[in-house]
Structures are given as structure tokens and as C-alpha cells.
Amino acid sequence: MTDAMVLPAEVLALLRHAGTRKVVATTGPDGAPHVAVRDALEVLEDGTLAFPEELDSSRTSRDLVHAIWFQRPVAVGIDRGDDRWVVRGTAERCLIVGPLFRRFLVAARQREGPDADIAAVWVIRPEVAWDETPAAARARDHERRPYAGAHLDRASIRREAGEDLDAGPAPGRQRRVGGEDVADSIADLDQASEASRR
């Protein structure tokens, strides 16, 4: 068993904030995905993530049993306003007794009343985490696909925004794609379209 990764400070802060939405994503034996909100999820002192599950028969419980037996990954989505992270890891333990189980049971009864119950506490060992804010996702996409910004649809979008594309590319709009200069003007697009019809 490997040590849990050290989660970034931003993730730890989000996990400890009461207003953070937390979802657990699993897959079943047939590969079908399942997502469940688990706002009681928290980070433990050893860096693992833990959350209570109310029913042994829940889809999440069944998928996590499958994950332990067949080393299937589990993902946790963490979202609060504009801050979004995903943590991927492995299901490590299922607790049905002990101090951690008792702590989650007491917390459930404080939240939901004296009749609240839980079936188990699941422990997830984080392996990787990444920022899912739109800016971070765009930056990763640009690293992987630097020429995606040269797509021909960009010109039509800029025309709708009122740019004069017939005047030629605006400063900084000329790009090199595959060793050739690409200008985002309507004239260039029309010429390319005409040439492809010949």
C-alpha cells in the first residue's frame, strides 16, 4: 500500500469548508459510472479521504466493494463557487466499527437526529489531484493542443462579435500552423473554401 499523496493546500481548504459540495464517482462491474453527493466527506490526518455510507445496498457501496476487489479507481469532485478540483484514488478500507466509524455516526445523528444511522465509513487513498476551474482546464488544453485556437470556426465567432475580418488579420491574429502562416480573415477562409472545391 502506497502513502496517500499530499493534497494541495487549495484542496484541503475546500474540503474543510462547510459550503463545499463533494461528490464521489464510481464505476460498477459493467463499467457504468455512478455519481453521488457525499457532503460529509472529509480529509483525515493521514491524508486519506473518508465518508459515511448509509446503506450497504446503495449503488456507491456496491461499486466501492467492486473497486476494492478489482483495483478500480474512485474519483471525488470538490466544488465551491469558482473553485473546482478532482481527486482520483483507490478505495482502501470499509469500516463498520471503531473510533472513526463512531465519530461519523455521532456526526450523522447530530445533523439528522437520533434515529440517523450509517452502514459503513469508506476510506479513499488519493493518488492524483487536478484543478478543474475553467482557466486551468483551458491552460491544460492549450498545452496538449496548442493549435486548437486556429480552428476555422473562430473567424465566424469573431465576425458575430463585430470584428472587421475582411480587413485582414488583427495584429497578433496571424498564427503558424504546421509550418504555414494562417490568417483568420474572411478573405483567407473564402479562398481556402474555393480552392478545396476545385
71: left (phi over 0), alpha (psi -120 to 50) or beta: left
* Cα 146 from chain centre: 22
Question: Which whole-number Å values give the CA distances from 82 to 89, 127, 130, 131, 145, in the listed order?
Answer: 23, 23, 14, 11, 24
| C-alpha torsion sign, points 69, 70, 71, 75 | negative
Q: Mind listing the domains of the chain with CATH numbers?
A: 9-135 (2.30.110.10), 142-193 (no CATH)
For residue 139, how far is the Cα from the chain centroid?
Answer: 15
Distances (CA, A) of 185 to 83, 125, 151, 169: 37, 51, 12, 5
Of 67-81, 125-139, 163-177, highest mean pLDDT: 67-81
Question: What band does 174 get if pLDDT is binned at 50, 70 and 90?
Answer: very low
Average pLDDT of the residues of the chain: 81
The C-alpha atoms of residue 32 and residue 35 are separated, in whole angstroms, by: 10
pLDDT at 172 over 60: no
Local confidence band at 160 (pLDDT 50, 70, 90 cut-offs) = low
The whole-number average pLDDT for the span 84-101 is: 95
Instruction: Give the N- to C-terminal CA distance of the chain in Å, as an integer.
Output: 63
User: φ, ψ for residue 27 (rounded to 5)?
Assistant: -130, 145
Q: What is the pLDDT confidence band of residue 72, given thresholds at 50, 70 and 90?
A: very high
Crossing angle (nearest 10°) for helices 186-197 and 153-160: 140
Determine which helix (DSSP H) or strand (DSSP E) holds 74, and give its type and residue range. Answer: strand 73-80
Q: pTM of the full predicted structure? A: 0.71
